[in-house]
Chain A
Amino acid sequence: MPELGRAALVVTLGLSVYALVAGAAAARLGRRRLAYSAQNALVAAFFSTLVAAGVLLAALLRNDFSFTYVARTTSEALPTAYTISAFWGGQEGSLLLWLLMLTGFGAVAVRLNRSWARSLVVWVVPVFAAVGVFFSFLLVAVASPFATQAAPPDGAGMTPSLQNPYMLAHPPLLYVGYVGLTVPFAFAIGALLSGQLDERWLVATRRFTLFAWTALGIGQLLGAHWAYVEVGWGGYYAWDPVENAALMPWLAATAFLHSVMIQERRGMLRIWNVLLVILAFSLSLFGTFLTRSGVVNSIHSFTQSSIGPWFLAFIAVVVAFSLAVVFWRLPLLRSPTKLESPISREAAFLYNNLLLLALCLTILWGVVYPLLSEAVRGEAVVLGRSYYDFFLRIFGLPLLLLMGIGPLIAWRRASLRSLATTFRWPTAFALATGVVLLVLGAGSSVPGLVAYTFSAFVAAAIVLEFARGTRARKALGAASWPRAFSSLVARNRRRYGGYVVHAAIVLLAIGIAGSSAFDSVAEAKLARGESMEVGDYTLVYRSLDEQQVANATEVRATLGVTRGDRDLGTLEAGKNAYTIEQQVSNEVGIRSDRLTGEDLFVITEQIDPDGTIYFRVFVKPLVNLIWVAGLVFLLGSVITLWPDAREQRRLVSRASEVGVPATR
């Protein structure tokens, strides 16, 4: 069996090389049949990768420990679901997943677009193939998932914290995001190479970009929720390099999704868009590199992992090649139109882009700073949490405000007077909210208060937009209000889906502000029967129980919770001691208030033999809005992604008037 897997990967490498060489030759020489052959090779590469993936999956399910990879990542006792998740639990398997998704995305994107954008697609194929060559080469020559050994009696197993349902969905979603960003990259480079820099590449890739971006966003929120519920340190995001690795391409892709609208409507920002796509793709490679290479684990040594240097070299090649192509095509990228006024929709989008990019690049700076300072000063300097928090406030809060302004401002040129009219109500609502919150005591954190006020502004602006649109549809003859509302959304999914996503970001902002700026924490060492207070809660430590389960000893403390005079029942928190892995894990107790979104979060820091416990308790207001935001985000993305034949036709016909920017 391992021979089949190895052979399939060699075939994939061969097909990718062929698709690259033949595709490039066909595009250069205008050979139609050869171009088709290259496209078919790309599709075939997907199937040969699928065979390799099938072999690995079968080996995992059979617990075939003669595969080194299987022996390293699983064990006999591991439940089947986690045996499957071991596919992406190690370096080689996740590279294989990358390649599988890459060839899959490539095949689908090429098949979907080759009839209406043929002259563009012929140039896209070799770009996909080049990325495929890199990954299949790594899998064949450097990090083969099909290495074999004399089978040990049992595998090494999986770290307990990864044996968790979140790990079934979180890593693959991030990978879908990372790999999906290859599609806009390949089309952008294809467009540059072909010299056909009309808006077709945007139309061809819009859904792919949105899909990848959604997966990346949801994947990150799942990771945050996992950290919050399972890791048990009382937070959900720690600005860890691995977390930042996913956030950076997401921010770049967010910027791209916005600026793309400016190019579609006004033909502007063409160079900018191409650069953003290159940045997003490079950052997704960098993200894979960070999570995979071990640079993060031991930030001191670059050479520890076998694939690290290869990845760095590939990223360098991608960046250098892409920038060279952009520079070469610079004359063709000049915009036929220009920004007319600093107060306009276009300008608002530009500010949004600059802020997103600034945030993205400051995070990148923070991530690479230890490496850079080590190279320059011989000593790694680490930028801590305060660095990231500072820049999140500096760039994130204006970004939040712009989210309310941008969608409502007029294209081309807006007058200050019209602005005053448009924003009268949102501003009044925001100010009223701010004053009320100030009276209620939210002034304890200025950034938190500002975040709330801005959120109120954006929320009001979004509601106003929906109300205005629904009223217009009703006036145009919709039968009822709900009918008017649904036809409003259905007729312009992109716009109103976008507003729903904005609403999700507002919820996220409120949740983050509430849980980080207005949280309270208390610690105390309690013997049984003693109590402590945190916020307006009172906790009584009632009893301690121990239970033996299959692979662990579970120790649980039971606490009685009251708030004022109200009895809120009991809460359990404790620790699990895993016998085989010799590892202890905190099992936190969380009580969520459905109505207010507030969490009471209990950690048993230390359990002494005599039963006294050192407790650490948080009250996190509004934290549940973060998870609600994830659902709303998904809803908005689905609305936007939902197939809309009419819109697609319009975009296609508009884009096929080559070189004519679509203005309306």
Chain B
Amino acid sequence: MPVARKSSPARLVIALSVAAVLAIFLLYTSIAGGGNPSISPSELGKRTEKVQLAGLVTGPVRGDSHAAGLRFGLRDIDGDSAKTVSVLYTGSVPDLFKKGRHIVVDGRLRNGVFVAEPGSMITKCPSKYAPKSSSA
């Protein structure tokens, strides 16, 4: 900290700023909540709160994301859990989406189907810089 002996306004300024930042932080977390848990399909279980689901797309991919919705399965990217969650998705589909890709969607489980929020899908780049063979 930039210091000076007592009576310098610097300390007061910094102390007040730190306090202000903490206050803003608290304000934020109280109005906006703390974000969503990011989990894998095998961890979803019967949980019905809003989560971010990250997984590997399994076929068959059916439907129209701009009509009744796109349907596909998601399973864990690594680990040997065979559990697959069926997903219903509407809205923009990124270019890289297809069977075998890693994707992330926000949404919640409803009657056994994970209903994603429209437009929430993110495909993980097949690694932004690394060769594609390593991610396929």
List chain A positions with a Cβ less than 8 A from chain B: 72-73, 88-91, 94, 156-159, 161-162, 171, 232-233, 242, 268-272, 291-292, 294, 297-301, 334-335, 337-342, 347, 350-351, 354, 358, 362, 369-370, 379-384, 386-387, 390-391, 394, 523, 525, 575, 581-586, 603, 605-606, 614, 616
CB pair A382 B92 closer than 8 Å: no
* Complex CA–CA separation, A88 to B66 (angstroms): 39
In the complex, which residue of chain B has the Cβ closest to the Cβ of A275?
B1
CB pair B102 A298 closer than 8 Å: yes
* Complex CA–CA separation, A156 to B54 (angstroms): 26
Chain A residues with CB under 8 Å of B98's CB are 582
CB pair A394 B24 closer than 8 Å: yes
CB pair A294 B3 closer than 8 Å: no
Q: State which residues 1-55 of B face A: CB under 8 Å.
A: 1-5, 8-10, 12-14, 17, 21, 24-25, 28, 32, 34-40, 43, 52, 54
Chain B residues with CB under 8 Å of A354's CB are 13-14, 17
Q: Is the interface of A mostly helix, strand, loop or mixed?
A: mixed
User: Of the candidates A233, A339, A614, which one forms a contact with B4 in the assembled complex, judged by CB atoms under 8 Å apart?
Assistant: A339
With A339-B4, A581-B132, A586-B95 given, can you name 12 additional A-B contacts, CB distance below 8 Å?
Answer: A72-B134, A89-B129, A156-B131, A335-B4, A342-B9, A379-B37, A379-B38, A379-B43, A380-B37, A380-B39, A575-B95, A614-B66
CB pair A171 B35 closer than 8 Å: no
CB pair A384 B35 closer than 8 Å: yes
User: Of the candidates B24, B95, B130, which one forms a contact with A232 in the assembled complex, judged by CB atoms under 8 Å apart?
Assistant: B95
CB pair B132 A291 closer than 8 Å: no
Chain A residues with CB under 8 Å of B25's CB are 362
User: Of the candidates A73, A382, A394, A606, which one forms a contact with B64 in the assembled complex, judged by CB atoms under 8 Å apart?
Assistant: A606
Chain A residues with CB under 8 Å of B3's CB are 271, 334-335
CB pair B32 A291 closer than 8 Å: no
* Complex CA–CA separation, A89 to B14 (angstroms): 43
Chain B residues with CB under 8 Å of A72's CB are 131, 133-134
In the complex, which residue of chain A has the Cβ closest to the Cβ of B120?
A384
**A–B pairs, 19, beta carbons within 8 Å:** A271-B2, A271-B3, A294-B127, A300-B40, A301-B78, A335-B2, A335-B3, A337-B4, A341-B9, A342-B12, A350-B10, A354-B13, A381-B36, A382-B36, A387-B32, A387-B35, A394-B28, A606-B66, A614-B66
CB pair A299 B38 closer than 8 Å: yes
Does residue B96 face the partner (Cβ distance < 8 Å to A)? yes
Chain A residues with CB under 8 Å of B2's CB are 268-272, 335, 339, 350
Q: Nearest 9 CB-CB pairs, A to B?
A: A338-B4, A72-B131, A383-B35, A339-B10, A380-B38, A338-B8, A269-B2, A156-B133, A272-B2
Does residue B124 face the partner (Cβ distance < 8 Å to A)? yes
Q: State which residues 86-125 of B face A: CB under 8 Å.
A: 92-96, 98, 102, 106, 124-125
In the complex, which of the residues A162, A297, A583 has the most CB atoms of chain B within 10 Å of its own CB atom?
Answer: A297
* Complex CA–CA separation, A335 to B11 (angstroms): 13
Known contacts A156-B132, A338-B8, A381-B35: does B1 contact A233 (CB below 8 Å)?
no
Does residue B84 face the partner (Cβ distance < 8 Å to A)? no
Shortest distance in angstroms between B107's beta carbon and chain A's nearest beta carbon?
A: 13
In the complex, which residue of chain B has the Cβ closest to the Cβ of A333?
B3
* Complex CA–CA separation, A582 to B95 (angstroms): 11
CB pair B78 A347 closer than 8 Å: no
CB pair B37 A339 closer than 8 Å: no
Shortest distance in angstroms between A282's beta carbon and chain B's nearest beta carbon?
A: 18
In the complex, which residue of chain A has the Cβ closest to the Cβ of B4?
A338
CB pair B38 A382 closer than 8 Å: yes
Shortest distance in angstroms between A120's beta carbon and chain B's nearest beta carbon?
A: 22
CB pair A616 B35 closer than 8 Å: no
CB pair B35 A382 closer than 8 Å: yes
CB pair B38 A381 closer than 8 Å: yes
Does residue B58 face the partner (Cβ distance < 8 Å to A)? no
CB pair B66 A525 closer than 8 Å: yes
Shortest distance in angstroms between B28's beta carbon and chain A's nearest beta carbon?
A: 6
In the complex, which residue of chain B has the Cβ closest to the Cβ of A386?
B32
In the complex, which residue of chain A has the Cβ closest to the Cβ of B17?
A354
* Complex CA–CA separation, A297 to B2 (angstroms): 39
* Complex CA–CA separation, A586 to B12 (angstroms): 54
Shortest distance in angstroms between A433's beta carbon and chain B's nearest beta carbon?
A: 27
* Complex CA–CA separation, A268 to B11 (angstroms): 13
Does residue B62 face the partner (Cβ distance < 8 Å to A)? no
In the complex, which residue of chain A has the Cβ closest to the Cβ of B128?
A242
Shortest distance in angstroms between A521's beta carbon and chain B's nearest beta carbon?
A: 11
Does residue B126 face the partner (Cβ distance < 8 Å to A)? yes
In the complex, which residue of chain B has the Cβ closest to the Cβ of A391?
B28
User: Of the candidates A301, A334, A358, which one forms a contact with B21 in the assembled complex, judged by CB atoms under 8 Å apart?
Assistant: A358
Known contacts A232-B95, A233-B92, A606-B65: does B35 contact A157 (CB below 8 Å)?
no
Known contacts A233-B94, A583-B96, A606-B64: does B129 contact A382 (CB below 8 Å)?
no
CB pair B95 A291 closer than 8 Å: no
